[in-house]
Amino acid sequence: MKARLNLQEYTNGILQGDRVVLAKAITLIESQLSSDRIIADQLVEKVLPHSGNSIRIGITGVPGVGKSTFIEVFGKYIIDEHKKKIAILTVDPSSPLTKGSILGDKTRMEELSKNSMAFIRPSASGEAVGGVTHRTREAIHLCEAAGFDVILVETVGVGQSEIAVKKSVDFFLLLMLAGAGDELQGIKKGIMEMADAIAITKADGDNKFKAHEARAEYQHALHLVRPDSSGWLPKVFTCSAVLSEGIDSIWNAILEFQQLLISNGIFETRRQRQQVEWMHECFDQLFKMEFQKSPWLHEKKSSLESDVLAKKITPYQAAQTMLKEFIHSLRGSNQT
Ligand code: GDP
């Protein structure tokens, strides 16, 4: 199959659930070429009415917590026991300098990747969080239109991208290790507050007792942290991917969560809110890009920076001046 298809070919392939076309379509939406962007936008618009029919699950945890092993087992469980199709999108905010991938170059989820009911797609790494989120959201819609019932968005629990992913999913699952140091728990605190469920991984062998202890502690901590407006109380589980234990409880909790939020109307309201937030984020990005393209900006910015450093003007006043000049320059360019 050729590398680039036309809009009709992309649309038909996706709606027929063709995984090869879906992969090519995601490459298209990740492309930086403006000619690709035009088709990508049209494609997302075409598939939008066919999307939405899935449960979107965010999953995160520090490297080594057992994400890929968990996803492999979780994915197979959903496919075998519930006959559902699962798409896994990984968001990997690695440094563009090192081009290194935190999620590893090794083949992850080897068995799942061969299963025709699964689709696994690592994101283009090394991009700004904003860009990654936008592309991930588009990819979610494409996967849904291709008939995937469960969309799993995986991130590494080390930074900003979790917050962005939280805004793109229905349910947020945090994987944690039992007995990890205080420092690690510190990083996790903000992320913990976003979790709809926590799963303590590797609850097997010598680690089993520690995992059960950690579960009780986290459950207690979560009760203190957040009474959710949806009526959902975050749950804590232990699981062992190696022994395939605890996987069904996590899946059942996700279903329970979905049923609760559908019954009280919050499921759809949240998705609608996310869609509108997406629009605002796109606007912010487009505005910034437009602003940075302005030819006068560089010179003006340097002189304002000097004024700020010399305390001739406050940072806020300087920002206002830049905005005013930008609006002025737009008016000028409209008149020519
Ligand atoms: P990731 O970096 O979060 O994707 O973690 P991996 O899935 O690659 O797992 C990291 C290590 O933990 C590997 O050596 C796995 O074999 C091991 N591991 C993962 N899940 C389990 C589990 O349920 N029990 C045990 N004992 N080890 C596990």
Percent of the chain with pLDDT over 90: 57
- 226 to each of 6, 115, 194, 264, how far by Cα in Å? 48, 38, 9, 19
Closest CA to 142 of 51, 6, 56, 9: 51
Domain parsing of the chain, residue ranges: 1-50, 51-264, 294-335
Residue 141: count of CB within 10 angstroms of its CB? 21
Question: What CATH fold (topology level) applies to the domain 1-50?
Answer: 1.20.5
* Rounded Cα–Cα distance for residues 19 and 127 (Å): 24
pLDDT at 286 over 90: no
Q: What integer pLDDT is reported at residue 97 of this predicted model? A: 44
Residue 330, helix vs strand vs coil? helix
pLDDT digits (tens, 9 = 90+) for 163-185: 788 889 999 999 998 876 555 55
Task: State how far the Cα of 248 lies from the Cα of 229, in Å rounded to an integer.
Answer: 26
Cβ-contact 45, 25 below 8 angstroms: no
CA distance linking residue 62 with residue 315, whole number of Å: 37
For ligand 1, atom 22, the nearest C-alpha belongs to: 202
204 in contact with ligand 1, CB cutoff 6 A = yes
Rounded mean pLDDT, 198-224: 89
Ligand 1 atom having least distance to the Cα of 243: 23
Pick the residue whose CA is nearest to atom 19 on ligand 1.
Answer: 66
Helix (H) or strand (E) holding 150: strand 150-156
Per-residue model confidence (pLDDT) at position 98: 44
User: Residues 244, 246, 251, 252: is their CA dihedral positive or negative?
Assistant: positive
Ligand 1 pocket: which of 69, 111, 207, 243 to mutate (most atoms <8 Å of CB)? 69
pLDDT confidence of residue 86: 97
Mean pLDDT of the chain: 86
- pLDDT at 285 exceeding the cut of 50: yes
Ligand 1 within 6 A of CB of 238: no
Q: How far apart are CA 169 and CA 141, in angstroms?
A: 11
Give the per-residue pLDDT at 157.
62
Nearest to 152 by CA among 216, 70, 220: 70
**pLDDT of the residue at 228:** 72
Reported confidence tier of residue 32, pLDDT bands at 50, 70, 90? confident
Locate the ligand 1 atom nearest the alpha carbon of residue 201 and give its number.
23
pLDDT at 95: 46
Q: Give how far the C-alpha of residue 184 lies from the chain's centroid of Cα atoms, to the nearest Å.
A: 21
What is the average pLDDT across 61-73? 91
Structure confidence by residue, pLDDT tens digits, 78-104: 999 999 999 999 887 654 444 445 555
What CATH number does the domain located at 51-264 have? Answer: 3.40.50.300
Distance CA 236, CA 219 (A): 6
Q: For residues 268 and 251, give the distance between their C-alpha atoms in angstroms, rounded to a whole number.
A: 20
Atom of ligand 1 nearest to the CA of 62: 3
| CB-ligand 1 contact for 66 (6 Å cutoff) | yes
**Tens digits of residue pLDDT in 303-335:** 999 999 999 999 999 999 999 988 888 787 665
- Atom of ligand 1 minimally distant from the CA of 104: 2
Residue whose token pair is 């109307």: 265
* pLDDT (average), residues 270-280: 93
